[in-house]
Amino acid sequence: MAVTIKDVAQLAGVSPSTVSRTCKDHPSISEETKEKVRQAMQKLGYEPNFQASNLASQNSRTIGIVLPPSARETYENSFYLEAIRGISSFCNQKQYINTVVTGNTEEELLSVIKTMSRSGQVDGFIVLYSKQDDIVINHLYNEGFLYVLIGKAYQNINQTIYIDNDNILAAQEATEHLIKQGHKKIAYLGGDNSLMFSADRRAGYQLALTMNGIAINPNYCQELPFKKKDQIKAINQLLSSDDRPTAIVVCDDILAFTLEDICEELKLSIPKDIAIVSFNNSLIAKLATPKLTSIDVNSYQLGIEAASQMINHIENPNLMATKIIVPHHLVVRESSSLDR
């Protein structure tokens, strides 16, 4: 098995990022620490790509922004655009360059990141998602590359820098808003629960029901397929059932927009027959008919905080991993309240 930066770091008693910066002869690392790391590399037979390291030193101040793997759907979601806007705004102030990294599959995305890392094109990566057992995140951690997650870390929590909302609390507040409107038959429509934000929002929804003495109906809590046609089929089945819900918490505005279309086709009035609360407070929420009640997760601020932490750790490599929670707030519109 090939020796990794992580192996060298463990033997030298330093962080993987310190090993990476030693390979680049970064001035922030003391000569004593560099020597300890070099001895560990020699003992393990680790051979860094010094050509790439020297190139990175010469062409530093570049940050990679990693989008989730997708052929199309990711680029339709304004959450990512707003987060990138926040990152770019902060990087411009600090005179850092950012470059967007994309791929249709996890394997394609990982290949691009490996190429960029080997060639020394970037100082670190901001990953715009957090997912269980993700090969990209695992690679960045195992190879000791500096990275920041937007989303809660699934593993290596104490060694991972991440920026997130309290998605459990946000979904709890969204559900309690519907309970205050008199609803007890409340459903939840989520995405892939390997994505940390989706799993947390489902947990917050369930917590709100439990705390208010409402039994959790497993038929109401759905993890929808990725393809839109399959989502439409699942939503139609839910809304056509004899015991259909009277309110629904939806994990994002795009899916909520699809839900509104289906309600219109089924002649269900919003919010009289079906009340809806969604997430992100995107332009879609404001243009939908009726306009969507939505949790604003401050995606622009998430991007700013991610860029701030990335640059802070580039310039101060011995900092402890930071965790930052960005506040959210509920924006009430016509889709959830007959009073409006």
Give the three-class secondary structure for 101.
strand
Residue 338 in any domain: the answer is no
Q: Are residues 73 and 140 in the same domain?
A: yes
CA nearest 204: which of 227, 177, 174?
174
Q: Are residues 44 and 75 in the same domain?
A: no
CA 66 – CA 74 distance, rounded (Å): 11
pLDDT at 51 over 70: no
CA 106 – CA 123 distance, rounded (Å): 21
- Percent of the chain residues topping a pLDDT of 90: 61
In sequence order, the 6+-apart residues with CB closer than 8 A to the CB of 182 are none
Q: Residue 3: which pLDDT band, with cuts at 50, 70 and 90?
A: confident
Neighbours of 35 (CB within 10 A): 12
Q: Given this model, what pLDDT does residue 39 score?
A: 87
Q: Given this model, what pLDDT does residue 26 score?
A: 64
Q: Are residues 250 and 107 in the same domain?
A: no
The CA distances from residue 157 to 211, 241, 324, in Å, are 28, 42, 13
Q: Are residues 180 and 238 in the same domain?
A: yes
pLDDT digits (tens, 9 = 90+) for 251-292: 999 999 999 999 999 999 999 999 999 999 999 999 999 999
CA nearest 155: which of 136, 169, 128, 137?
137
Residue-wise DSSP of 54-83: HHHHHT--EEEEEPPP-SSGGGG-HHHHHH
Q: Are residues 158 and 209 in the same domain?
A: no
pLDDT at 180 over 90: yes
pLDDT at 153 over 70: yes
pLDDT digits (tens, 9 = 90+) for 63-72: 999 999 886 6
Q: Are residues 21 and 116 in the same domain?
A: no
Mean pLDDT of 16-32: 71
In degrees and rounded to multiples of 5, residue 97 shows phi and psi of: -95, 145
pLDDT at 27 over 90: no
Residue 340 in any domain: the answer is no
Q: Which two tokens stand for residue 182?
A: 């008199």
Q: Given this model, what pLDDT does residue 208 score?
A: 98
CATH code of the domain covering residue 89: 3.40.50.2300
pLDDT at 159 over 70: yes
Q: Given this model, what pLDDT does residue 53 score?
A: 47
Q: Given this model, what pLDDT does residue 75 score?
A: 74
Q: Are residues 33 and 134 in the same domain?
A: no
Q: Which two tokens stand for residue 10?
A: 């463990």
Residue 332 in any domain: the answer is no
Q: Given this model, what pLDDT does residue 338 score?
A: 63
Residue 304 in any domain: the answer is yes
68, 129 contact by CB (below 8 A)? yes
Residue 122 is given by DSSP the state -
Give the three-class secondary structure for 330.
strand
Q: Are residues 141 and 217 in the same domain?
A: no
pLDDT at 98 over 90: yes
CA 24 – CA 48 distance, rounded (Å): 10
Residue 334 in any domain: the answer is no
CATH code of the domain covering residue 40: 1.10.260.40
CA 285 – CA 98 distance, rounded (Å): 29
Residue 337 in any domain: the answer is no
pLDDT at 340 over 60: no
pLDDT digits (tens, 9 = 90+) for 213-251: 999 999 999 988 777 788 899 999 999 999 999 999 999
Average pLDDT, the chain: 88
CA nearest 280: which of 231, 330, 323, 325?
330
The per-residue b/e assignment along 53-85, b for 16 or more CB within 10 angstroms, e otherwise, is bebbbeebebbbbbbbbbeeeeeebbbbbbbbe
Structural domain tally of the chain?
Answer: 3
Q: Given this model, what pLDDT does residue 319 score?
A: 85
278, 294 contact by CB (below 8 A)? yes
For 291, the domain range is 167-296
Q: Given this model, what pLDDT does residue 204 score?
A: 97
Residue 66 in any domain: the answer is yes
Q: Are residues 187 and 245 in the same domain?
A: yes
Q: Are residues 288 and 303 in the same domain?
A: no
Q: Given this model, what pLDDT does residue 72 score?
A: 65
The per-residue b/e assignment along 222-240, b for 16 or more CB within 10 angstroms, e otherwise, is bbbeeeeeebbeebeebbe
Q: Are residues 223 and 203 in the same domain?
A: yes
Q: Are residues 309 and 286 in the same domain?
A: no
Residue 278 is given by DSSP the state E
In sequence order, the 6+-apart residues with CB closer than 8 A to the CB of 250 are 188, 189, 256, 259, 276, 277, 278, 279
Contacts 24+ apart (CB under 8 A), 263-269: 263/239, 266/236, 266/239, 266/240, 268/239
